[in-house]
Chain A
């Protein structure tokens, strides 16, 4: 079955700097890769996603890149703000199967 690894587990950046979180997956049939932001005591919120026929997607300060050959995808947050502090989860999906989540990255943006 699918296995998703995520690095780093914790990340601290200064406000205004960029943050990058990387995930790798094992199942080459996976074709949908969402990223979720979870604040303390709340459910995960979908912030951006990418499908396997696209290499990069951007939404304001957030971007995701996908390398199908290497089976890894990354979340890029530019101009970080304190409100970006949260736990971020990546996931992989092969349609017809269940979503598989990474272990999460705790991002702290220091003012």
Chain B
């Protein structure tokens, strides 16, 4: 299947700092990528749909100014958590559709 690479796998940061997570499609071009958030022992919650060359589409309740998404090329989408706070601590996962959906390995964010 298609390969989606996500970095970093784990990040620890201080409250108030910003964190950037990268998601790359390695062997295909992805005009659309998706960002999910997952709390312990829960299902995947779609945060936003990232569209190459245009603005992301955010799900209801997701703060677009807090979670900045950039999809500047057909193989790279980034999620920046701005002014992170402890409540932003979570597992973030990106995915791309071919149209089958393939996921990155996830990023565990811990905000101290």
Q: Which residues of A contact B (CB under 8 A)?
A: 32, 34, 36, 41-46, 49, 89, 91, 93, 95, 98-99, 101-104, 106
**Within the complex, which residue of B34, B49, B93, B101 is in contact with A34, where a contact is CB–CB below 8 Å?**
B101
Nearest CB to that of A100 among chain B residues?
A: B46
The majority secondary structure among interface residues of chain B is strand
Find the residue from B1, B99, B101, B102 having the highest chain A CB count within 10 A: B101
Interface residues on B, range: 20 to 34
B63-71, B77-85, B104-112: which lies at the interface: B104-112
- One digit per residue, 1 when the CB lies within 8 angstroms of any chain A CB and 0 when it does not, for chain B 68-99 equals 00000000000000000000000101010001
Nearest-CB residue, chain B, relative to A106: B41
Nearest chain A CB to B24 CB, angstrom units: 13
B44 and A98 contacting across the interface, CB-CB below 8 Å? no
Q: Does B42 contact A (CB under 8 A)?
A: yes
Q: B residues near A, CB below 8 A? A: 1, 4, 6, 34, 41-44, 46, 49, 91, 93, 95, 99-106, 108
Rounded to whole angstroms, the CA-CA distance of A30 and B48 in the bound complex is 21
Closest to B99 in A: A95
A95-B99, A98-B49 in contact; A44/B42 too (CB < 8 A)?
no
